[in-house]
Homo-oligomer: A and B are copies of this chain.
């Protein structure tokens, strides 16, 4: 048979008439630690990428959706049971991206407060949280095209931080305004004015709800910060806009 105009096989198709692929799902798990954006990477003992780091991932199964496959991979490799912010980044299918076989991978972005216990697998030489800056500047050898995927994921996180309520996924159920501000500062690489940040959040109801409790001050002291929980408005967007003229991080 020949391929039809649409490239799809008609009703009585012959499976040998079109190329077949393995389809995998890779997950970029981002979190904030020490005021810096971090990504979860695993190290594998397998050729031809022995010793290099890779994103966690695995095969899609025929009877699950892509979203379900990503959620399953996340559950299998971390102690994260439920990641509401698991979102698709895109598909990567360059020929030769996996030298062993014909693989199209679909990348996902997950944003979590903490990674928790990392589930050690049989073939994993290790797994670690790595600074995104380090992973992207070439200091770390990344397998496949995972460097490109990671770069795309970070760019997506920067956009979503402004367009969606992604920010609260980085913090716990209760948080201080300084913690929330640190999320924006780490992902965007900027410094935000604490006073204006607060004002944007309390200008309208729905962003933050006071709990009445206070956080413990750090070792250097300071006034104890109020603890808030997230309001309903995060379902629709973010109260903080990305600064047009980015103030360098650390500048004042």
Which residue numbers of A lie inside 8 Å of B, CB to CB?
3-11, 13, 15, 18-24, 42, 44, 46-48, 54, 56-66, 73, 76-77, 88, 90-95, 98, 100-102, 104, 106, 121-124, 159, 163
Contact = CB atoms under 8 A, between A and B. Distances in A.
A231 to B, nearest CB: 19
Given A13-B100, A15-B101, 17 more contacts: A4-B46, A4-B121, A6-B42, A6-B44, A6-B54, A6-B123, A7-B57, A8-B58, A10-B46, A11-B100, A18-B22, A19-B61, A20-B20, A21-B22, A66-B93, A91-B106, A93-B106
Contacts of A15: 101
Contact of A58 (B6, B42, B104): B6
Given A20-B20, A21-B20, A163-B159, A8 B93 contact: no
A93 B65 contact: yes
A64 B21 CA distance: 13
Contacts of A59: 3, 7-8, 18-19
B90 A90 contact: yes
Contacts of A48: 11
A66 to B, nearest CB: 4
Contact of A94 (B20, B22, B42, B65): B65
17 contacts: A4-B123, A5-B76, A5-B121, A6-B44, A6-B58, A7-B59, A8-B46, A9-B101, A19-B62, A20-B22, A21-B21, A21-B22, A62-B95, A62-B102, A66-B93, A90-B91, A91-B91
A77 B207 CA distance: 48
A76 B4 CA distance: 12
Contacts of A3: 58-59
B159 A77 contact: no
Nearest to A56: B6
Nearest to A104: B23
A123 to B, nearest CB: 5
A95 B69 CA distance: 11
B19 A21 contact: no
A248 to B, nearest CB: 20
Given A6-B123, A8-B24, A18-B22, A90 B88 contact: yes
